[in-house]
Amino acid sequence: MKYIALLRGINIGRENRIKMADLRTIFESMGFKNVKTYLQSGNVIFDNKFIDNVKIAEDIERKVSRTFGFAVNAVIRTDNEFENIINNNPFINDSNIGLDKLHVTFLKEAFDKETILDLNLNKEENEKFEIKGSEIYLYLPNGYARTKLTNNTFERKLKIIATTRNWKTVNKLLELSKLE
């Protein structure tokens, strides 16, 4: 089965630096096959027979911590889940929305929509978000750097691990997962 790992908080500034070649080596040492990385931000595509996203994430977190000496969080999705994420984006067919303004926040586990909607989130008037399963779809016309709808906000409010990728990266990860 094909998996996509999204590591939270590596290679940001001078902290938690991991070379992608070293990250690939770590994944291969864990028995994962056909390991590929994308960008320097902790996106890893790999094959594995084991079918338990939670266990895979825990194993990756433990191995990275032991190897590099700092904690990371991993969010795991299959390539089929990524395909569904892309197909279910509620903003994609709105001609008034630029694709470069779309992001997806991946939650480590699903939250019920009502819990998130009841949150008192500070957002700009023109920003939009929608929750579907364990993803939060974001439309951020002023960019991710200027929003308050960040990983830290969702993690603090929901007490859950979150990591965000822009729309271009989400699509590229699925495309790379389909290559052999």
CATH number of 2-78: 3.30.70.1280
Residue 122 half-sphere exposure toward CB, CA atoms < 13 A: 7
- Across 63-71, average pLDDT: 94
Q: Where do runs of H (alpha helix) occur along 30-112?
A: 53-68, 79-87
Write the pLDDT tens digit of every residue in 75-105: 999 999 999 999 999 999 999 999 999 999 9
Contact yes or no for 103/166 (Cβ under 8 A): yes
**Is the C-alpha dihedral spanning 88, 119, 101, 163 positive or negative?**
negative
2-78 with 82-178: one CATH topology?
yes
Please name the amino acid found at residue 120.
N
Please report, for the chain, the start and end positions of each structural domain, with discontinuous segments joined by +.
2-78, 82-178
Distance separating the N- and C-terminal Cα atoms of the chain: 12
Q: Is the pTM of this model over 0.85?
A: yes
- Kind and range of the H or E element at 172? helix 167-178
Query: Edge-to-edge strands of the sheet including 2-8?
Result: 33-38, 43-47, 2-8, 73-78
Kindly indicate the confidence band of residue 115, based on its pLDDT and cuts at 50, 70 and 90: low
82-178 has which CATH code?
3.30.70
Q: What are phi and psi of 128, to 5 degrees?
A: -135, 150
Residue ranges of E strands in 73-174: 73-78, 102-107, 128-132, 135-139, 162-166
Element (H, E) at 171: helix 167-178
Radius of gyration of the chain (CA): 16
Q: What pLDDT band is residue 117 in, cutting at 50, 70 and 90?
A: low
